[in-house]
Every structure is written in structure tokens, then in C-alpha cells.
Amino acid sequence: MFPVVRRVAAALAVVVATAGAAAPSPVPSSAVLPGWCNVTVGVVTAIGPTTYAFGLTTPARSGRASGTLSIFSGTGRYDVRFTDAVVPHVLGEGNDHSATPIVVRFDKPVFVQAAVVTSLDAPAPVACRPFYSPYSRHGSIGWTRIEPVAAFEQRAAAAVPVKAPAPLPYAPAICDAPYSLPSTLRAFEPQIPDIAYTSKWTGNTTVLVTVDVDGRAANAEVDTSSGHPELDAVAVDAARRSLFKAGTFDCAPVVGTYRFVVTF
């Protein structure tokens, strides 16, 4: 039995529902690097020609957060304040499995190129470098494990939108890949335990990796299990030892997330 390593780039997982009981603010974890926002956009969906809904997520402990959501469109940057938003853990851990929809209405149709959190209240606003998670208009990978994407879109459509502020001038950087996901440069071969061979274990382990700007795994944790903890452990170890190419935001290297898949 030889393991097959597959590298699959993916957006952060997030589920969205109505806000629940009060929860603590997201706290730092090993998945977050100093100076970087520990809250990011997990999904954005258009719910009308001039209206978008955003859901936030965190690689830290789930909770509530207030701050600034920066939305980039063309040569404009729209800084939208959000307050006491429920922010679930990226993998659905903890008690909060729902996110508060942040619904923004623009005065004309826009194309959202990117959206990131650029400041968090602690308790006063503190700027932080954006933790970039490319999103899907139809929902991030992993949503359907807890809630169908259609439920988010229905709830977001019923929410009261906030009016987008006047855009700030923004000059996009020019390069071949202004916004990109991390990718694998060198995958470490998993060290398979003897019991896996003798027991003829098979399965797939998906590891969610936080990739820093130097292409190193700042954090790695099991997203979907093979069903065998021993195999999951070696998959996480392989992800931590692998070398990646950092993702980019506005042409600059940024912290991002990546799905590393090992088939046993």
C-alpha cells in the first residue's frame, strides 16, 4: 500500500445561520500568525444586482467579533463596519456553527474582486494584515456538512442590508496572479505505520493547512478523517513537513489556507 498525496486548494469552510447566544470574541490559536487578522471572509454571495452577503470565519476559537470588512471592486475600496458578528470556527468546531450574514447594498451594480477583514476591535479598532481566503459565490467547500448553502442565501436575502459607504480610491497592483490560493511546491511523503500495512487500512485524510508568507505550514489539522487516527496523524505530519507556495492578495504574499489530501 503506497499513499498518494493530492494537493487541493480550497476556500475556508463556513456555515451561516442567524445569530445565537452571546459568545466570546475569537481568540488567537496556532493557526494565526502575529499581526494577521484571525477573522476572514469564508463566503460571499450575490443576492441581487447591487447587494452582496458576506459570512466570516476564523481559524481560532469561534465567537463574536467587530471590525472592518474591506471590499475591493475595480478601483474602489469599500470599508464596511460590522459589529458583534458571530464567527464560527473554520472546521465547525465549538458551539457556534453559524455566522452572522453581513449584507451590503451598493448604489450601483459592482463586481466584487476580493473581500477581507482589515481591522478588529480589541476593543478599539486595530489594523491587521488580511488573512486571505478566496471564496465561492455558491458557498465555500465544507458548508453542506452542517447547513445547505441555499439556507444561507435565503436568510441573507431576508436580512436588512447596510448601505455601502463611498468608495476609497484604490490602485490595484498589476501582476500575473493578483489573487491566488496557496499551492504545493514539495510534498513530504507520509510515513505509514506498520499496523496500517498489516491491517490493510485504506482511506483519505484531508488536512486543512494554514500557509504562511514563506510557504511553510503554520498550522495543520484534520478536516476529514480517513477513519483511522494513526493514518490521520501521519497525514498531518506530512502536511506540516511539506513546502508550499504562498497565496497572493493584490500581488503580495499573504497567509492563506490549503487542503492537503492523502490517499492511503
123 or 161, which is more confident: 161
Inform me whether the pLDDT recorded for 243 exceeds 90.
yes
Structure confidence at residue 145 as a pLDDT band (50, 70, 90):
very low
Interacting residues of 28 by C-beta distance below 8 A, sequence separation 6+? 38, 60
Question: Per 3-state DSSP, what percentage of the chain is helix, strand, and coil (rounded to 5)?
Answer: 10, 40, 50
The reported pLDDT for the residue numbered 172 is 85
The span from the CA of 188 to the CA of 235, in Å, is 9
Structure confidence at residue 29 as a pLDDT band (50, 70, 90):
very low
Per-residue model confidence as pLDDT tens digits over 114-143: 888 999 998 788 898 887 765 533 344 333
Looking up cell 498525496 gives: 5
C-alpha cell at 50: 447591487
Tell me the Cα Rg of the chain: 19
User: Per-residue DSSP letters for 19-68?
Assistant: --S--PPP---TTS-TTB-S-EEEEEEEEETTEEEEEEEBSS--EEEEEE
C-alpha cell at 8: 487541493
Share of the chain above pLDDT 90, in %: 39
Mean pLDDT of 175-179: 85
Mean pLDDT of 240-260: 90
Per-residue model confidence as pLDDT tens digits over 72-99: 988 999 999 999 998 887 776 655 557 7
Structure confidence at residue 28 as a pLDDT band (50, 70, 90):
very low
Per-residue model confidence as pLDDT tens digits over 192-215: 999 999 999 999 999 989 899 999
The span from the CA of 264 to the CA of 241, in Å, is 18
